[in-house]
Amino acid sequence: MNVVIVGAGAVGLGVGSCLIRAGARATFVDRQETVEYLRRHGLRRTGIFGEVRIPPESFDAVQRADNVKTAGLDHILVCTKSFDSPAVARELHAAPLGRDTTCPIVLFQNGWGNFEVFAERFEPRRVFNARVITGFQRRAPGHVEVTVHADAIKIGSLAGADQSAVAELARCISEGGIPAEATATIERDLWAKMLYNCCLNPLGAVLGVNYGRLGESNATRAMMSQIAAEVFQAMRAAGHTTHWDDAESFLTDFYARMLPPTAAHESSMLQDLTAGRRTEIDALSGAVVALGERFGVPTPYNRAMRELVRFMETNRRERKTWGKEL
């Protein structure tokens, strides 16, 4: 298998390590600093699935998508932040990588709305989504740690494409150490993750706590109940479905089965805020707010989360700038 991985962040490195370990040829596309590090030091994966060390001669790393060889390419994996989707779709579409190939483009991204961005530039049945609820943290430019794992990576099509197109990709990821499978229910899976993330990520980021702390408090449970109810209302108004009939049945499963394995995890949104980076709030709470506005569904709790995180993003960036000036 021959794959290109756009974005060598935590998810890209984690998934890439599995594919390389399973014998795939992989090319990472990322910024100069990351590319140079990978070329010198290789890739290392640690954490709950054990340690894997991959020498630099076992894969390629380049800075631009138009530098990637297209011959024999099987899959393009997009592992960037959701807010980078427009720029990545535009770059891929302009490069031979996007123009001269017909292989599946698989989006390993958080939130809702990424598919639509890529479907504007590529044949929709070529674009697949992956739902990832495995926790990855990048410890160095070439070192990723797998911190938690709640369920297998699911890969499927929102456009009704045959899931057999990604079955081999899922098999290789599993063979490389992290369970993955192709699915015909990716819409339901993505909205299940939206529910999970909208309840936990913004609230944990604003309060500065891990997932488990949110589940221990009656106050935060009450807020998550309201957030989940709004997600269901907006989701249904837009014509989407998930694996539960209502917020109450989701929350029962959420507290009993989904939260405990990830209780010690701190969300990527909290990590981004702490580092003064932009978050993916607009693809999570912001996507719920946008659907609510479009279909006339009030979403005050998700709107509050969006605005609080946006404020914290701006405040942290300004404080970092002030610190440099002082």
pLDDT tens sequence across 54-102: 999 999 999 999 889 888 999 999 999 999 999 999 999 999 988 888 9
Q: E-strand spans in the chain? A: 2-6, 25-29, 43-47, 52-54, 60-62, 75-78, 105-107, 127-131, 134-140, 143-149, 153-156, 180-182
Q: What is the pLDDT of residue 320?
A: 53
Question: 124 burial class (0-12, 13-18, 19+ CB within 10 angstroms)?
Answer: middle
> 320 versus 284: which is more confidently predicted?
284
The whole-number pLDDT of residue 325 equals 43
| Contacts for 240-247: CB closer than 8 Å, 24+ residues apart | 240/187, 240/191, 241/187, 241/188, 241/191, 242/187, 242/188, 242/191, 242/192, 242/195, 243/185, 243/188, 243/189, 243/192, 244/192
Rounded CA-CA distance 295/214 in Å is 30
Q: Do 49 and 78 form a contact (C-beta atoms < 8 A)?
A: no
193 tagged catalytic? yes
Q: What CATH code is assigned to 188-321?
A: 1.10.1040.10
Give DSSP secondary structure letters for 132-196: --EEEEEEETTEEEEEEE-S-EEEE-SS---GGGGHHHHHHHHHTTS-EEE-S-HHHHHHHHHHH
pLDDT at 318: 60
Q: How many Cα atoms sit within 13 Å of 194 on the Cβ side?
A: 34
Which of the residues 81, 193, 320, 324 is marked catalytic? 193
Average pLDDT over residues 149-178: 96
Give the per-residue pLDDT at 192: 97
Rounded to the nearest integer, the mean pLDDT of the chain is 94
Task: State the Cα–Cα distance between residues 30 and 6, nearest whole angstrom.
Answer: 7
Domain boundaries, the chain: 2-184, 188-321
Q: Angle at CA 167, nearest 5°, toward 119 and 74?
A: 65
Q: Is 2 exposed, middle or buried (0-12, 13-18, 19+ CB in 10 A)?
A: middle
Report which DSSP code applies to 22: T
Strand 43-47 vs strand 143-149: parallel, antiparallel, or unpaired?
Answer: parallel
In the sheet with 143-149, reading across from the earlier edge strand, the strands are: 52-54, 43-47, 143-149, 134-140
Q: Is this prediction's pTM over 0.75?
A: yes
Q: Is 276 left (phi over 0), alpha (psi -120 to 50) or beta?
A: left
Architecture of domain 2-184: 3-Layer(aba) Sandwich (3.40)
> CB–CB of 299/198 below 8 Å?
no
For residues 301 and 311, what is the distance between their CA atoms, to the nearest angstrom? 15
Percent of the chain with pLDDT over 90: 87
- The yes-or-no verdict on residue 182 having pLDDT over 90 is yes
Alpha-carbon span 212 to 266, nearest angstrom: 9
Q: What is the mean pLDDT of residues 123-150?
A: 94
